[in-house]
Amino acid sequence: MTQQPVTAVYLTAPATQIVTNELRTADHITETGGILLGHHTHDTVTVHHAGTPGPAAVRTPTFFLRDLAHAQALADEAFANDGSVWVGEWHTHPTSRPIPSARDAATYGQLLNDPELGFHSVIAVIFARHAGRWEGAAWACRLGRIEPVRMQLSGSTG
């Protein structure tokens, strides 16, 4: 069955807590982030688990590469616990806006083009610093298209 295009992303309380803890402790100079795990139902992706960068992550002011072993361990645990699968990634842009960069778009294209991964769409949640606060935006990436989608963080007001 073909999945509907994503129009909304919902981060559950546990996923929101992981992201907000990482944002609170981030150095605001280098990018940080992690994987997103959950379920795609109808036009909504529900994120049940969010990853942290992991101890071997590469972090620079304009680039983030997750610790693959750390991400895989979280993915294995989440799948065993509730059937959550890899739906996308979150990361920060400490020196720019919360929109996918050209490098981000290329990465999402590679993920979508990998038949072993089986992505129909990739969810990208990006946070950027503005006026001393983190602001986030969600994006649905499909082959050839990256579109903004509604995002709700459980327990947040915006």
- C-alpha to C-alpha distance for 47 and 129, rounded to whole angstroms: 23
31 is catalytic: yes
3-class state of residue 87 by DSSP: strand
Per-residue pLDDT tens for 10-32?
999 999 999 999 999 988 899 99
Whether the CB-CB separation of 124 and 100 falls below 8 Å is answered with yes
Per-residue pLDDT tens for 96-142?
999 999 999 999 999 999 999 889 899 999 999 888 889 999 999 99
Q: Which residue among 31, 89, 116, 135 is the active-site one?
A: 31
In this prediction, residue 2 carries a pLDDT of: 60
**More confident call, 155 vs 126:** 126
Please name each of the domains of the chain with its CATH number: 8-153 (3.40.140.10)
Q: What is the DSSP letter of 55?
A: T
Rg (CA), the chain: 14
Per-residue pLDDT tens for 37-85?
999 999 999 999 999 999 999 999 999 999 999 999 999 999 999 999 9
Beta-strand ranges (E) seen in 51-84 are 58-60, 63-65
